[in-house]
Amino acid sequence: MISVGQPAPDFTLFDSAKNPISLHNGKGKKIVLLFYPFAFSSTCTKELCYIRDNMSLFNNIDAEVMGISVDSLYTLAKFKEEQGYQFTLLSDFNKEVSRLYNAIYEDWNYNMKGVSKRASFVIDREGIVRYAQVLENAGDLPDFEAIQASLSTIN
């Protein structure tokens, strides 16, 4: 379980443009990690469109948003293009980071194995977790107000 106050576990994943992205490269920035089950599903699209439509809230407080799912980087590239997302989407195809953050359904609907849970983490400029929420119900949305409140407390 990832707890508030602990260092965020580092990782490297490929983004939708096939670039390796490491969490430690974000040191010095406020980071929002958003795990979500699947690109193109209704609730995931609603969640990420909220971020897209409110990106100025994150940009204005120097926060970088990274979406993480077990989709392939090719699927994420199409999802990002079709929805006009201006933030990073990362492929956790091998499910390692979702497991590292305890944000995974080992058994999910339709006998699917290893699907990211909907989870959100705010990481401060020093790499410390300042907010953590892992939802059990994939139909629930993150608490965006709590995420913003957490971000606003970080200098």
Could you name the CATH architecture of 28-152?
3-Layer(aba) Sandwich (3.40)
Tokens of 39: 């690109």
Q: What angle, rounded to 10 degrees, do the helices at 73-83 and 42-53 form? A: 60
Nearest to 10 by CA among 132, 128, 116, 106: 128
By three-state DSSP, how is residue 15 classified? strand
Instruction: State the pLDDT at residue 1.
Output: 84
Record the pTM.
Answer: 0.95
**Segments making up each domain of the chain, as ranges:** 28-152
Q: What is the mean pLDDT of each run of 10 residues along the chain (155 residues)?
A: 95 97 94 97 96 95 96 97 97 97 91 93 97 95 97 94
- The catalytic position among 8, 13, 44, 147 is 44
Q: Which residues contact 66 (CB under 8 A, 6 or more apart)?
A: 21, 31, 32, 33, 34, 87, 88, 89, 90
Instruction: State the pLDDT at residue 20.
Output: 98
Instruction: State the pLDDT at residue 111.
Output: 86
User: What is the DSSP pairing of strand 30-35 with strand 63-69?
Assistant: parallel
Are 89 and 79 contacting, i.e. CB atoms less than 8 angstroms apart?
A: yes
Cα 22 from Cα 83, distance rounded (Å) = 24
Instruction: State the pLDDT at residue 108.
Output: 84
Q: Is 44 a catalytic site residue?
A: yes
Q: What angle (nearest 5°) sits at the alpha carbon of residue 79, between those of residues 73 and 84?
A: 125
